[in-house]
Amino acid sequence: MSGKQLGREEMFVTGLRCLRCGVRYASGAVEYVCACRSNQGSDLGTLDVEYDYAAVSRAVTPEQLRAEADRSIGRFWPLLPIGGREQLPPLPVGGTPLLGVPRLRASTGLTQLWVKDDGRNPSASFKDRASAIAVARARREGRAVVATASTGNAAAALAGQAAAAGQKSVIFVPKSAPPAKIAQLLVYGSTVLAVEGSYDDAFDLCTVACHTFGWYNRSTGYNPYMTEGKKTVSYEIALQLAEQRGAAAPMQAPDAVFVSVGDGCIIGGVHKGFKDLVALGWIERMPRMYGVQSTLSPALHNAWRSGAEIPVPVRATTRADSISVDAPRDPVKALAAVRESGGAYVLVEDAAILQAILPLARLGGVFAEPAGATAYAGLLQAWCDGLVQPEETLVVINTGSGLKDVRAAMEVTGEVRVIEPSLAAVRDALGL
Ligand SMILES: *Cc1c(COP(=O)(O)O)cnc(C)c1O
């Protein structure tokens, strides 16, 4: 199952290393996970993609990255497992705004709070960053089909990127995925299979189907290259914080980053991005990573608490469907992100998650889906718990647009008022 001879992409990628047993592979010598992974359902044997940072820093400088007209992740191509930016699908991803949110700052007293709004990607979630890489690699390997299991957003992202590139895609989602997400898949023209079961059931089915039919598997925590797409958010944050400080300011890491966590691939990617920047000498220190989970889907939080290497599966029931995960698929990277950066896992109730949608929208102008608002709810919790200081530079990543799940939002806004079409009715309704 090894990939084709890879050619130019080997210029910067030196290989893949197993995060459990430490074995190194040349790229192309292994496809998804290390041979040490047992078939017992444990999600170890995750691979980390390694780069020749000296060669990267000869090929590109932070100044060049800043001067690029291209704001998409393509500008980071020497740090991506692709041969060149032209291999990415023609539907640009990334380059999302880092918002200064003055009214949220005033309401919280956190004077250097920023919201990175990744709901503004082409399919309206953070997952576009990874799916662009999946389609680039599937095409390069000449695969007829790229497939994924997803709670919804990874699938929508894959469907959109695949559509733009003319690549066939097969998607496995739990039947319970919100209708807007399923609509996206159908509209983009993917073959959609709604599995009678949980996300975890969909995941296992997708893995078997890819092995059986020779499809390219994008599934999170299994395909090692998804981390590489997700890490681009950290490059953007460090560049955007620098831009705020003036034309010649060096790249700047925030003090802490808040991100919601389901499988743990995003937080692992955010961590990898900042680690790359430290390795390149482009930033001086790592930000602290805070992973936020619902009390109704707390597997990684529990593992972090207990010091475990593998999370004990839970029965996840959170309303924030994108982070509703029984057995996280990317636990090694997710736990390392928090442990190595001196951050923490933070738990929030579902009620706090849904409530957090309102200030983000009403004071920040950002409409987040529940899993996106979870990061902000986690920041508020961390602030209460004394984990952050008011002057620190804090970045909350909104991972998905609120239009993905309007029913959840309307649980906290209440229903709309219906009136007769008359001025009297307006007066009546508003007490004028
Ligand atoms: C996938 C997703 C997450 C969680 O990412 P993981 O890699 O599963 O931890 C959070 N928010 C949104 C909107 C997502 O789609």
CATH number, domain of 378, equals: 3.40.50.1100
Distance (angstroms) between ligand 1 centre and the Cα of 421 equals: 43
Whether residue 260 lies inside any domain: the answer is yes
Q: In what order do the strands lie in the sheet with 216-217?
A: 191-195, 168-174, 145-149, 216-217
Distance (angstroms) between ligand 1 centre and the Cα of 319 equals: 13
Cβ of residue 74 lying under 6 Å from some atom of ligand 1: no
Which residues in 221-243 are b (16+ Cβ under 10 Å) and which e? bbbbbbbbbbbbbbbbbbbbbbe
**Are 297 and 317 a contacting pair, CB within 8 Å?**
yes
Cβ of residue 152 lying under 6 Å from some atom of ligand 1: no
What is the domain extent for residue 238? 98-124+227-413
Which residues in 392-424 are b (16+ Cβ under 10 Å) and which e? bbbbbbbbbbbebbeebbebbeeeeeeeeeeee
Distance (angstroms) between ligand 1 centre and the Cα of 271 equals: 15
Whether residue 408 lies inside any domain: the answer is yes
Which residues in 94-116 are b (16+ Cβ under 10 Å) and which e? bbbebbebeebbeebebebbbbb
DSSP H helix total and E strand total for the chain = 16, 13
Cβ of residue 260 lying under 6 Å from some atom of ligand 1: yes
**Angle between helix 153-165 and 179-188 (nearest 10):** 10
| Best of 258, 323, 325, 333 for a ligand 1 pocket test (most atoms within 8 Å of beta carbon) | 323
Ligand 1 closest atom vs CA 268:
7
Sequence-ordered alpha helix ranges (H) in 197-309: 199-213, 226-230, 232-245, 265-279, 299-306
Distance (angstroms) between ligand 1 centre and the Cα of 372 equals: 8
Into how many domains does the chain fold?
A: 1
What is the pLDDT at residue 101? 98
Q: How far apart are CA 385 and CA 353, in angstroms?
A: 17
The conformational region for residue 396 under phi > 0 = left, psi -120 to 50 = alpha, else beta, is beta
Cβ of residue 371 lying under 6 Å from some atom of ligand 1: yes
Q: How far apart are CA 46 and CA 298, in angstroms?
A: 21
Q: Using alpha carbons only, give the angle 199, 396, 261 rounded to the nearest 5 degrees.
A: 20
Distance (angstroms) between ligand 1 centre and the Cα of 322 equals: 5
Whether residue 244 lies inside any domain: the answer is yes
Ligand 1 closest atom vs CA 291:
9
Whether residue 160 lies inside any domain: the answer is no
The conformational region for residue 310 under phi > 0 = left, psi -120 to 50 = alpha, else beta, is beta
Cβ of residue 119 lying under 6 Å from some atom of ligand 1: no
Cβ of residue 138 lying under 6 Å from some atom of ligand 1: no
Cβ of residue 261 lying under 6 Å from some atom of ligand 1: yes
Whether residue 5 lies inside any domain: the answer is no
For atom 7 of ligand 1, the residue with the nearest CA is 265
pLDDT-flagged residues of the chain (< 50)? 1-7, 9, 39-40
Distance (angstroms) between ligand 1 centre and the Cα of 81 equals: 21
What is the pLDDT at residue 43? 66
**Are 346 and 378 a contacting pair, CB within 8 Å?**
yes
Distance (angstroms) between ligand 1 centre and the Cα of 266 equals: 6
Q: How far apart are CA 223 and CA 218, in angstroms?
A: 6
Pairing mode, if any, of strands 13-18 and 24-25? antiparallel
Whether residue 374 lies inside any domain: the answer is yes
In this structure, what token pair is assigned to residue 304? Answer: 């972090």
What is the pLDDT at residue 58? 93
Ligand 1 closest atom vs CA 259:
10
Whether residue 363 lies inside any domain: the answer is yes
Ligand 1 closest atom vs CA 153:
15
Distance (angstroms) between ligand 1 centre and the Cα of 398 equals: 10
| Best of 43, 117, 125 for a ligand 1 pocket test (most atoms within 8 Å of beta carbon) | 125
Whether residue 360 lies inside any domain: the answer is yes
Ligand 1 closest atom vs CA 371:
11
